[in-house]
Chains A and B, each alone.
Chain A
Amino acid sequence: MMQRVWMVAARDFSVTIGNKGFLFGILLMPLLICIFVFVGPRILNGRSPVVEGQVAVMDATGSLVSELRLDLAPAAIAARRARDAGPRNPLQRDGPPIPSLAMVEKPSTEDPQVAKNWLLQAPDAPERHLAVIAIHPDAVKRAEGRSEFGSYDLYIASRLDENTENVIHDAMRQGLVNARLKDKGIDPAAVEASMHVVRPVSVTVGVGGERETRRGFSRMLPFLCGILLFMGVLTSGQMLMTSTIEEKSSRVVEVLLAAVSPLELMWGKLLGRLGVGLLILAVYVGLGMFALLEYSLAGLVDPLLLVYFVIFYLLASLVYGGLMMSIGAAVNQVADAQSLMGPVMILLVAPYVLVPMIGQNPNSTLSVAMTFVPPVNSFVVLARLASSTPPPLWQVLGAIATGVVGAGVAVWFAAKVFKIGLLMQGKPPSFGTLVKWARMA
């Protein structure tokens, strides 16, 4: 029996991976990942044009212009950016370009409407007018009887980008704070130095050694695992369904059933597609690991997580693959399968919704409860394992045990429906009919 099962599996596997559409599909996603990881940071930031232009200032305080001129200088902008960036994010290589801003003084008594009209230019004007800043008279010294300082109004040209606007706000904030401190006789540089505490990157100490803590990646990992599992299960499940429908509609299934039993055919197809799914995941995980190596982050992934990933992928694939294959066996064309896909899609979407919640709270009551509910528990427990506080071993083993039971029930159901449905023609059955077939087969 096993020899025939392997032969069916080998044919399904080799035919699938030799298909041009499959090769295109499997390569497309890694290509997008490559673009995102390697090319993206270089093309997203590096080539943005430097914004150049004038910023008009109407200073009603009469004391802020010189301070502001310093704070709008490119060197000051770069220094503020470096100070605010904190520990360097390895995925963010370059920030947006620093704008070149020239300050133009305008009398504070000028009619605000006239000042705003200064921003209305012809598109081909040689010098761009970017913004008008109207500083309130009480921005440096509080007005009598008021607890708060005044601020400023900012008017910007219609095509000013968000980065430049932020630079202006930051410069204004810096300039106002410095001016207020000086007004009180306090040295802004001393305050700045006192306020600044360098935040170190924490070091995670484990049995296997020490490594820099990367909270961002740790937060993303459960979600990434869920997405990968979802993609692998959905891809192999859909391929199983469509290939079964093709075999049925092309009538080759009766030729096959003359050579193998329905159970052998089903297991052969299931194993073949599991192999295809594993190959897809191996490619994706391999590329992911390569990307982590590129950023010296490979140590963040526990090798045991990969083992668990394979186990839970197999369990989830048996459930979803079995169900989708039974749907394929019951209908004659892909369009007919849509009506039966509803319950399976609910089972697939449920973990998709759950995984982000579980990634955030991996030890909540919901997380623990869902760990034992197949078939979603494959996704749930994997998300928990990938989190920074993985579940205890007994829960993982419990999830595997319940997963095996769930897979067994799904494959049993699939085998029953497969046996009856393969030679059924005509009107597609309802899901209730499938259940009836499973009971009578």
Chain B
Amino acid sequence: MDTALEVRGLSKAFGRNRAIDDLDLVIPRGATYGLIGPSGAGKTTAIRMIMSILFPDSGSMTVLGKPSALDAKDRIGYLPEERGVYRTMTVRAFLSYIGRLKMGERSRVDARATQLLTRLGLADAVNKKCEDLSKGMLQRVQFVAAIVHEPELLILDEPFSGLDPLSVRVLKEIVADEQRRGATIIFSTHVMGHAEELCEQIVMIHKGRKVLDEPMSGLRRQYDTRTIRLEPLDVTTDLMALKSVPGVERVQLTDEGCDIGLAASADPAMAIRNIAGTVAPARIELARVRLEDVFIRIVGGGSGSEESRQALRTHLQGLSGAGVAS
């Protein structure tokens, strides 16, 4: 297998805190990997070590066939979580400078920057100073800076935080284009929906250790919740009556209706027919496994209480608008 990134036994401690503990990771060329984990899990530290911005205490890695990212920086695009620009430089000058630092040819870099900025609705901002742009505009400029030199490996740390839905959509399209071009993509994100939508493989880091490294398709199978979601036609119906339906183990009320847990031996098709016969449904479906559920199961697994899991769920849902340091 031709690998874009291979990490073996990577560890890093800050004082007594082990930020990354014995991390192994292999990412094939052309793949799109999602790096997820709660705040402070060590995602950004791992990325910084991959980028050779931080240096590991132990372990080894190969980045695009080189022993260090220092030898392959020209071929890597990186959008750090903590965004930064030279405030007094114009957008054109900033992108040209970053592109040329990546050994891009000036004319090629400038042409691609113009094309990407136009696509992101920033054609008019080319000659403006960075300090005159809004936060969202700056974020898009920084995204362009990460890909302006057509990298082979693209590492995006919370790329969509702080962006409006329209910009998120355009960015996703550009990321998809980069993938089609053959770039390997590593996403670090808190927003499970983005990871679920864009990534083929999910790697989860928790307390500095890798706790999950699975393809999305495998995750769905592995974490099949055997849950049926029901929205009743009559909202006043007593849904707890469904507990008496054969094969139903539990009923959990939700805002829209309820989630119905099935026994391991129950046939989902039969259960749906029986449930629909008991309560007239406006909508009934077999619940799709969401990455959020997997995340909560792993991260919340140790904490025990349902309240803490619910708090984590609420937290994750609230992250769609803002980046949080990991």
| A interface residues with partner B (beta carbon < 8 Å) | 3-4, 7-8, 11, 15, 247, 250-261, 419, 423
Are A257 and B103 in contact, CB atoms less than 8 angstroms apart?
no
**Chain A nearest Cβ from B132, distance in angstroms:** 15
Are A252 and B51 in contact, CB atoms less than 8 angstroms apart?
no
CA distance A7 to B103 in the complex (A): 10
Interface SS, A side: helix
- With A251-B80, A254-B82, A260-B101 in contact, is A15–B73 under 8 Å at CB? no
Please give me the 8 A-B residue pairs with the lowest Cβ-Cβ distance, nearest first.
Answer: A251-B84, A252-B84, A258-B78, A259-B101, A254-B80, A251-B82, A257-B53, A250-B84
Are B97 and A15 in contact, CB atoms less than 8 angstroms apart?
no
Candidate in A11, A250, A259 with the most chain B CB atoms within 10 angstroms: A259
Are B100 and A7 in contact, CB atoms less than 8 angstroms apart?
yes
- With A250-B85, A250-B87, A251-B80 in contact, is A258–B53 under 8 Å at CB? yes
| B interface residues with partner A (beta carbon < 8 Å) | 48, 51-55, 70, 73, 76-78, 80, 82-89, 97-98, 100-103, 142, 145-146
Are A7 and B80 in contact, CB atoms less than 8 angstroms apart?
no
Are A251 and B83 in contact, CB atoms less than 8 angstroms apart?
yes
**Chain A nearest Cβ from B83, distance in angstroms:** 6
Are A253 and B84 in contact, CB atoms less than 8 angstroms apart?
yes
Residues of A within 8 A of B101 (CB): 4, 7-8, 256, 259-260
CA distance A247 to B82 in the complex (A): 12
**Chain A nearest Cβ from B139, distance in angstroms:** 12
**CB closest chain-B residue, reference A259:** B101
Residues of B within 8 A of A4 (CB): 101, 103
Residues of B within 8 A of A8 (CB): 101
| A–B pairs, 26, beta carbons within 8 Å | A3-B103, A4-B103, A7-B101, A11-B97, A15-B86, A247-B84, A250-B85, A250-B87, A251-B80, A251-B83, A251-B84, A252-B84, A254-B80, A254-B82, A255-B78, A255-B85, A255-B142, A256-B101, A257-B51, A258-B51, A258-B73, A258-B78, A259-B73, A260-B73, A261-B70, A423-B54
- With A4-B101, A7-B100 in contact, is A254–B53 under 8 Å at CB? yes
Residues of B within 8 A of A423 (CB): 48, 53-54
Residues of B within 8 A of A7 (CB): 97, 100-101
Candidate in B51, B52, B80, B87 with the most chain A CB atoms within 10 angstroms: B80
CA distance A15 to B97 in the complex (A): 12
